[in-house]
Structure 1
Amino acid sequence: MAVSLSHLSFEHHRHSFGIGETKPRISWRFEGTAVDWEQTGYDLEIARGPDGVPKVFNVNSSESILVPWPDEPLQSAEYASVRARAHGKEGRPSADWSEVYTVETGLLENDDWAGAIPIAADRDTEVDAAHQPILFRKAFDVNSTVASARLYITSFGLYVAEINGKRVGDHVLAPGYQAYNFRHVYDTYDVTDLVQAGGNVIGATVGEGWYAGRFAFSPSKPRNLYGDTLGLQSLLVITAEDGSKQTIKSDLDWHANTGPIITSNLYDGETYDASKEIKDWSSPGLDDSSWLGVKELSTAGGSIVSPDGPPIKKLEEVKPKEIMQSDSGKTVIDFGQNLVGWLKVTVNGPAGTNISFVHTEVMENGEVATRPLRSAKATDTLLLSGNTTQNWEPSFTFHGFRYVQVTGWPSTTPLNGDSISAVVVYSDMERTGYFESSHELLNKFHENVIWGMKGNFLSVPTDCPQRDERLGWTGDAHAFMPTSNYLFDTAGFWRGWLKDANSEQMKNGLAIPSFYIPSDDIADTERDRVRKPTAIWGDIVVGNPYALYQFTGDMEMLQEQFEGAQAWIDKGIPRNAEQLWDRSSFQFGDWLDPLSPPEDAGRATTSPHLVADAYLIQMTRYLSEISAILEKPELAEQYSTQRDELIAAFQAAWITPFDVIANETQTALSLALHFDLHKDEDARKTAASTLRSIIANNTYLVGTGFAGTQQLGFALTDINATSDFYKMLLQTTVPSWLYQVSMGGTTTWERWDSLLPDGSVNPGEMTSFNHYAFGSVADWMHQKIGGLAIGKPGWKTIKVSPEPGGNITWAKASYTSPYGNVYSSWTVEDDGFHLEISVPPNAKAEVTLPGNTEVETVGSGKNTFFVEGYKVPE
């Protein structure tokens, strides 16, 4: 019966250090198997600073997620120790005090930077060429014993910081990618252990990254999107034992130089010349009189803010699976997994040895396949100094790869798992969702979905990590968001990205979201795309806040995004006389429909404006619900009425003049069914029958692109045709989800047939092997096979309703909800269906068993259920 509290968190920060909120909302999870346990009140104990007297706040409330900060607001660079205790109903045990968790703010106001300015090397910057990374350095003395030290730092580019020759922190590709002209993130580090009494040096290397590198595909502006000069801004605050403070700020007293990194670009890779290393350059004692001076840097002008989401980190390491020879005799390493990151190399060889590494996702005709990279070189080059064993990995690039072609490797070092490995990087989100079943190929597909998400969640939700793109495409993010929210705690990640979406959308009152975010300073003039209203992609500003709210229950985030959501629906969408989408508007439509030709991914079998109109109706519904959640009843009614009017217009345009619907395709029928767009039950039954027939006649192969795939399984479940979707889900021929697995895929693909059955690469130019959008089907898998779905926002109520099929005899799913761990495990045995669930304290579950429509509500604890004689449908 014991109940305990764990994982106190502040806002949505995984690590509550250097946060930007002065009154951070507090959440806690529950552990334990107490039966029907509900919270009636809680206590929060807060102690401010190192010597603060604890204050206890008693609150009568059942809320345990995102509860208000009860004390006075935190000040800049202030920390507090917090613990919580929860009380159960009368006769139920209370949870004792949690462990103590700390929260610390960063620099909250511009004045807190104490005059630290952006600095750049006093040199001419490269013009229309790659920027060589810059070393920045400043020596300083500390005349007392250090009690604590904090480094606040960002760069105009990407940085790696050092103090006294030791690396600061474990962030990589910092400060990440954001809309720098609106929101420029800085990071906070505890560097107490690195600063010493006496002489010290702070240093940082800055590479071009997203800020000034070659990025996106504008022929008129291929680089320098936010600035053409690399720079640094930092403030080191040192607190002595007597409480006095010393600040070391970025100013004109720093020095700058170039070093061993010759170039380092996101697309093209890094060139490193070990002979140009400057020994101990960030340590005391170096004579830097020959180094360049620095100058003040004019920047893109965005506010310097603390991060909302987690930093990118090195989170895994993969050893080679096989080292082989290509057909032409080149050495190729197969890591066995398509991943995102870079190589970690240990090598010793003669001076001048030139080693190159070409990264690709697949092989074709016995060689590494570089064509899918388009113009990205994805090549790292290491030149050895010959003086010592070189331990090297790149600093300011990343690659999407499974295979690496190595040339120039010296014979003096064996090429094996001891000398080379792959480092996996992604945003440091907590893993929350798990799924497993009796179907091994399906399990492998689910693993591929996870790898696809890890490879594409680097500060922003990229569409692909390997070619000359890697942009935050909104249509992909819209499709995949529910799946991402289950697999990882994405709340902070999405919140930061959605802030950029809102800033860019509302600039100059346009109300139109970009195709990809950030994009405000990226022009795609060649194709006249980026800032045009288009469905699904633009709908991100409604659909994603709505989906994020369902998982988190965060009304504050929803309020932040309401202006943009309303502006999109009210002003951003060009309408025809019937208030549907204007027929001249540009649409991506059902992008990458399986029948779209390789040269034209948008030539789908479903009208793009039918797709756009269907999504408009669904977004209007969401906006009505959002208005109600935010206690705006008049707006809720207004958008509900608009939705009804739009449904009538949709029927007149797309359904009534036709036998069933204008396009009798899987996408058109699924959208109409799942979005409830039919005028009566007879029309709905006809559409349902037609959809099932189309699928059967297509031998249960997929017929949907980006617009239809996420909705297809739910549409079939809506019409009691879950068995049909199991047949689709478990197909292994193209186009199907498991085709990718049968072809050796280890991530999800951009095209259903990125790799053709004969092993050759699809001839289209968009042929990524790490594209998460079609992995959105995992949302259905979690809900209908695993049996776990949201009942009430934030998982206060859990829906447990597994629907077995496809001869799958067991499945289990778990999710770390804001209340604690949720678990469902079922098996079908000779005597029938067995289900075991676990519900965390302060939550409930609504359980529906297979073949039954009755809903049983249970409280916290473990429960078992049984359906006698149940057999798994084929």
Structure 2
Amino acid sequence: MRESSPIREVKSEAEGAEVRVRARGADSETPWSDWVHVETGLTNKWEDVSPITTLCKQPTDGPKRPIYFRKDFDVPSNLRSARLYITALGLYEAEINGRRVGDHVLAPGWQSYNHRHVYDTYDVTEMLVAGEKSVLGAVIGEGWFSGRLGWGGGNRNIYGDTLGLLAVLILTAEDGTTIEIPTDASWKSLTEGPIISGEIYNGEHFDDRIAAEIEGWATRSFNASGWSGTRSLDKLKGRLASPDQPPIRVTEEIKPQRIFKSPSGKTLVDFGQNLVGWLRIRATGPSGHRIQLRHAEVLEDGELARRPLRQAWQEEQVWLSGREITYEPKFTYHGFRFTQVDDWPAETPLDADHLIAVVVHTDMEQTGWFESSNELINKFHSNVRWSMKGDAHMFGPTANYLYDTAGFWRGWHRDVWSEMSSNGKMIPYAYTPTTPSGFGDQMPTAIWGDTQNWIDKGVARNSDGLWDRTKFQFGDWLDPESPFDNPAQPMTSPYLVADAYLVQMTGLLADIVEALGEAGDVTAYALALEFDLFSNVKDLTNGTDTLRQLIADNDYLVGTGFAGTAPLGGALTKANATEYFYRMLLQEKNPSWLYQVVMGGTTTWERWDSLLPDGSLNPGEMLSFNHYAFGSVADWIH
């Protein structure tokens, strides 16, 4: 059990306390932790605060230019503390007196905007000078709120078509009195700022000539008389809540490993690692000179491979102003290892001092590690760690071993739970669907057990079986025998896969209810073994023998896709055939886990052979080079 000290009831909002904890078992207890400061969030104070937007018209059929907001205010001479509570209809970055507030990026993250809206809290006391005037500023980009989102190119304005800022700055004097500075119509706004566009998929366009004109826009000395006014918007649809998840932060910087020319003469930069983030550049050049930065995960015939990106541009365009500029985007991120640099100015060397990759992700504390005597396995595990995203039911068990994921899952589950469809069925992702999907059981499997589920988004039973066979099923998606141009045609019947996972899910949900105190191929046999689908000893023995024989007949190469790979290790363990799995794990030919390593991969791939043995790209689609599903075996390795 956990014990805290001192124990006192905290009753009011925005009230602070110093706490420490220790764990007590049956026979011993841990030492006390260090003291930490905690505060309660806001409840009633939000009732009179509304989001604001600019008076200028915003487009609804294209990307929205980020909006700059600012507010002048007086700081009391007896200031004791200052707290900024802030969120956005979009993404925000805040400044006070020209200094950036906090170190969060892409804040407040992806929200279930119609149901639950997270706000962030910052102690900004040290950014203010008692008795002097100050300025609070924020720039808002479209992010996931109104930017293009979803499969097949996605849709715009899924959550709304108007960018907005919601904030309240609370100043507390030494005598306990407070001054509240909320977002209201007294704020000023600018829509013609230096960020011309900032889109998640397409990237950011930035004009430093405009940045020079509004330099110091969030300082007292700046003249904002030409800025537009603001208007209040309706109250947020979603309930305001403090965050459960750690914020997204810059966690690492990677220097270029190689700068070289492509066969066509293009300048390419190899960072040696497929990563998620963006570039930071430092450059000087003539006013009006444009730099273009294009990003991709791999090369094709020595050139930047743009085909796997589909409708995502993944590029920055930066116009110089004649002065030295240090620039990195605010409202986009990319998956890339390689960057094509076009029109780099002759006045600036292209080297590690002027161009660096910035890695960003949810800043969870690492709590688990893995190392073996096999360097290829170690590299494979590193690739898995660099690939954990999406497919939550698959990466969940591995992530839980490697990181403190408690807060992450708490927030993720609340968002997905909020987005349950009106008929009570679980949708596969936390935004309004634009296409069918089959990830409907991520909620329980992501944190309960080490398995996954691929069921249709809520197809009812019919008289012909558990599933309506006129509806789409993912099945054993991207198994190595499926046609390259039709990944939805696996060797294993998609309805067998769906049946197996439905049975497993039913049992899993029964386990959850109990815990709460309330009442023809490798994939097929792996699912049956791992999910205990054999009804008697004879069938179990036959299934075990068949699975072993299928693997041996396939020369110990992997014969499973998304659905069959995760349970494979557990199935062979139950079959007392772990030596079969070790032989599979150590294979280096395609399809295998180490094939991607020996082919130079630094993350796990969506296809076993996204890169063919001759180094060329697979001619099919589904060519992500940072896709976790086949890395789910890491949970068994742990």
Q: Tell whether the structures are fold-level matches, with TM greater than 0.5.
A: yes
TM-score band w.r.t. shorter chain: over 0.9
Q: State the Cα deviation string for residues 238-276 of structure 1 (Å, max 9, x = none).
A: 112222211111000000013110011111110100000
Tell me, in whole angstroms, the C-alpha distance in 2 between the residues paired with 1:494 and 1:44: 24
Q: SS at the partner of 2:127?
A: coil
**2:507 corresponds to 1:621:** yes
Q: SS at the partner of 1:433?
A: coil
The aligned residue for residue 273 of structure 2 is 337
Asked whether the 8 Å contact 2:51–2:236 carries over to 1, the reply is no
The aligned residue for residue 159 of structure 2 is 226
Compared CA separation, residues 270 and 687, structure 1 to 2 (3 A): same
Tell me, in whole angstroms, the C-alpha distance in 1 between the residues paired with 2:616 and 2:278: 25
Q: State the Cα deviation string for residues 63-104 of structure 1 (Å, max 9, x = none).
A: xxxxxxxx43543111211123566767x6x65543212221
**Superposition TM-score, scaled by structure 1 size:** 0.70
The correspondence for 1:318, drawn from 250, 254, 261, is 254
The correspondence for 1:77, drawn from 14, 32, 35, is 14
The aligned residue for residue 116 of structure 1 is 49
The residue type equivalent to 1:120 in the other structure is T
Tell me, in whole angstroms, the C-alpha distance in 2 between the residues paired with 1:85 and 1:213: 45
**2:34 corresponds to 1:99:** yes
Compared CA separation, residues 183 and 340, structure 1 to 2 (3 A): same
The aligned residue for residue 762 of structure 1 is 618
The correspondence for 1:482, drawn from 385, 392, 397, is 397
**2:124 corresponds to 1:191:** yes
Compared CA separation, residues 346 and 329, structure 1 to 2 (3 A): same
Following superposition, the deviation at residue 127 of structure 1 comes to: 3.1
The aligned residue for residue 606 of structure 1 is 492
Asked whether the 8 Å contact 1:574–1:585 carries over to 2, the reply is no
Tell me, in whole angstroms, the C-alpha distance in 2 between the residues paired with 1:171 and 1:283: 21
The residue type equivalent to 2:440 in the other structure is G
Tell me, in whole angstroms, the C-alpha distance in 2 between the residues paired with 1:215 and 1:89: 51
Q: State the Cα deviation string for residues 348-396 of structure 1 (Å, max 9, x = none).
A: 111111000000000010101001111111010111000x210110000
Asked whether the 8 Å contact 2:459–2:471 carries over to 1, the reply is no
Asked whether the 8 Å contact 2:50–2:234 carries over to 1, the reply is no
The aligned residue for residue 467 of structure 2 is 581
1:385-404 pair list within 5 angstroms: 385-386=321-322, 388-404=323-339
Compared CA separation, residues 769 and 192, structure 1 to 2 (3 A): same
The correspondence for 2:264, drawn from 328, 333, 337, is 328
1:435-514 pair list within 5 angstroms: 435-453=370-388, 456=389, 462=390, 476-505=391-420, 507-508=421-422, 510-514=423-427
Compared CA separation, residues 587 and 192, structure 1 to 2 (3 A): same
The residue type equivalent to 1:392 in the other structure is Y
Compared CA separation, residues 87 and 430, structure 1 to 2 (3 A): closer
The residue type equivalent to 1:581 in the other structure is W
The residue type equivalent to 1:502 in the other structure is W
The residue type equivalent to 1:214 in the other structure is R
The aligned residue for residue 180 of structure 1 is 113
Q: SS at the partner of 1:732?
A: coil
The residue type equivalent to 2:399 in the other structure is S
Q: SS at the partner of 1:117?
A: coil
Tell me, in whole angstroms, the C-alpha distance in 2 between the residues paired with 1:545 and 1:744: 32
Q: State the Cα deviation string for residues 728-778 of structure 1 (Å, max 9, x = none).
A: 011111111000000000000001011111111112221000001111000
1:352-751 pair list within 5 angstroms: 352-386=288-322, 388-453=323-388, 456=389, 462=390, 476-505=391-420, 507-508=421-422, 510-515=423-428, 517-520=429-432, 522-524=433-435, 529-530=436-437, 534=438, 537-547=439-449, 572=458, 574-577=460-463, 580-632=466-518, 635=519, 663=520, 665-751=521-607
Following superposition, the deviation at residue 668 of structure 1 comes to: 0.1
Q: State the Cα deviation string for residues 168-193 of structure 1 (Å, max 9, x = none).
A: 00000001002111111111111111
Asked whether the 8 Å contact 1:227–1:300 carries over to 2, the reply is no
Percent identity between the two aligned chains: 53
The aligned residue for residue 203 of structure 1 is 137
The aligned residue for residue 151 of structure 1 is 84
Q: SS at the partner of 1:342?
A: strand
Following superposition, the deviation at residue 582 of structure 1 comes to: 3.6
Tell me, in whole angstroms, the C-alpha distance in 2 between the residues paired with 1:321 and 1:96: 45
Tell me, in whole angstroms, the C-alpha distance in 1 between the residues paired with 2:12 and 2:629: 42
Following superposition, the deviation at residue 138 of structure 1 comes to: 0.6
The correspondence for 1:135, drawn from 68, 80, 83, is 68
Tell me, in whole angstroms, the C-alpha distance in 2 between the residues paired with 1:627 and 1:88: 27
Tell me, in whole angstroms, the C-alpha distance in 2 between the residues paired with 1:159 and 1:769: 29
The aligned residue for residue 4 of structure 2 is 44
Tell me, in whole angstroms, the C-alpha distance in 1 between the residues paired with 2:206 and 2:87: 23
The residue type equivalent to 1:629 in the other structure is A
Tell me, in whole angstroms, the C-alpha distance in 2 between the residues paired with 1:205 and 1:355: 23
The residue type equivalent to 1:765 in the other structure is E
Q: State the Cα deviation string for residues 601-624 of structure 1 (Å, max 9, x = none).
A: 111100111111111111111111
**Superposition TM-score, scaled by structure 2 size:** 0.95
Asked whether the 8 Å contact 2:50–2:235 carries over to 1, the reply is no
Following superposition, the deviation at residue 681 of structure 1 comes to: 1.6
The aligned residue for residue 213 of structure 1 is 147
Unaligned runs of 5+ in 2: none
Compared CA separation, residues 573 and 225, structure 1 to 2 (3 A): closer
The aligned residue for residue 125 of structure 1 is 58
Following superposition, the deviation at residue 119 of structure 1 comes to: 0.5
Following superposition, the deviation at residue 45 of structure 1 comes to: 1.5
Following superposition, the deviation at residue 572 of structure 1 comes to: 4.8
Q: State the Cα deviation string for residues 439-493 of structure 1 (Å, max 9, x = none).
A: 000000000000112xx3xxxxx3xxxxxxxxxxxxx221221111111111211
Asked whether the 8 Å contact 1:481–1:547 carries over to 2, the reply is no
The residue type equivalent to 1:538 in the other structure is G
Q: State the Cα deviation string for residues 549-606 of structure 1 (Å, max 9, x = none).
A: x9xxxxxxxxxxxxxx9xx99x955224487334334311111111111221111100
Corresponding residue pairs, total: 632
Tell me, in whole angstroms, the C-alpha distance in 2 between the residues paired with 1:763 and 1:578: 37
Q: State the Cα deviation string for residues 504-542 of structure 1 (Å, max 9, x = none).
A: 22x42x122223x2122x423xxxx25xxx5xx212233
Q: State the Cα deviation string for residues 374-428 of structure 1 (Å, max 9, x = none).
A: 1111010111000x21011000000000000001111111111111100000001
Q: SS at the partner of 1:136?
A: strand
Tell me, in whole angstroms, the C-alpha distance in 2 between the residues paired with 1:299 and 1:224: 18
The aligned residue for residue 196 of structure 2 is 262
Tell me, in whole angstroms, the C-alpha distance in 2 between the residues paired with 1:263 and 1:734: 42
**2:101 corresponds to 1:168:** yes
Compared CA separation, residues 390 and 82, structure 1 to 2 (3 A): same
Tell me, in whole angstroms, the C-alpha distance in 2 between the residues paired with 1:686 and 1:86: 48
The correspondence for 1:239, drawn from 162, 166, 172, is 172
Asked whether the 8 Å contact 2:83–2:170 carries over to 1, the reply is yes
Q: SS at the partner of 2:369?
A: strand
Unaligned runs of 5+ in 1: 1-25, 28-42, 47-54, 56-70, 457-461, 463-475, 551-564, 636-662, 783-874
C-alpha RMSD of matched pairs (Å) = 2.1
Compared CA separation, residues 347 and 720, structure 1 to 2 (3 A): same
Q: Which has the larger radius of gyration?
A: 1
Asked whether the 8 Å contact 1:750–1:768 carries over to 2, the reply is yes
Tell me, in whole angstroms, the C-alpha distance in 1 between the residues paired with 2:542 and 2:327: 63
Following superposition, the deviation at residue 300 of structure 1 comes to: 6.1
Compared CA separation, residues 744 and 249, structure 1 to 2 (3 A): same
